[in-house]
Amino acid sequence: MKGILKSKGYDAYSVKVSKELALNDYVLNEEEIKLGREITNKLKQLDYKFDPILIFPRAKVISINIDGSRKYYDAVKDDVEKAAIDVTELNNYKDYSIDVNRSTVKIAKADTGALITPAIAEGLMSKKDFKVTGVGYKEKPLSFIISTSIPSSDPEAKALGSEIESMIVEFLKSEEISSILGEESYEIKVKSKDKKKINK
């Protein structure tokens, strides 16, 4: 998506990605997402092996699952915890506790939507004329949900919805993404500001 839009001369700016969750699920805010990204980057710089970091804002816990043997876990646990604490303190999250663990159950590979949606978001939100305010997805059945700021009553709403859908379809057909998507079917829902579907 980024390449497709870059070829058309679009300029990138902020990106918002979300997974559609039940109402009682907590969606991380931008600062919490940034915190998770900074901890991840710090641990990668230090060459530790770990699974995706989980942040639980309600419990004020950051969970880091070390990937490797018991011996490796015992050797790096304290250093991983210290590195994570340093990042949380720099970001004013001093009240968060760090839970460094080693689960014997492998964390499941990210679902297709989680792998593809960030790239869709980056592409769509780099073009202000698309009026995209958010990009999310549902896992089963796979649906990409695009929120826009255009009212459904706007005469250009349907055309914009179709243009956004066409851009996503083109992106999903690219060699890199089609290898991730495989034969999985999907739906694209482009929604107006008043939550009405504006693509076909």
Which of 156, 80, 96, 160 has the alpha carbon at shortest distance from 127? 160
CB 18, CB 135: distance < 8 Å: yes
pLDDT digits (tens, 9 = 90+) for 53-81: 888 887 888 989 998 899 999 999 999 99
Reported pTM: 0.51
Mean pLDDT, all residues of the chain? 82
- Residues 6 or more apart whose CB falls under 8 angstroms from that of 123 comprise 1, 2, 4, 5, 167, 171
pLDDT digits (tens, 9 = 90+) for 152-196: 999 999 999 999 999 999 999 988 888 888 888 999 999 999 999
* Token couple for 162: 């179709």
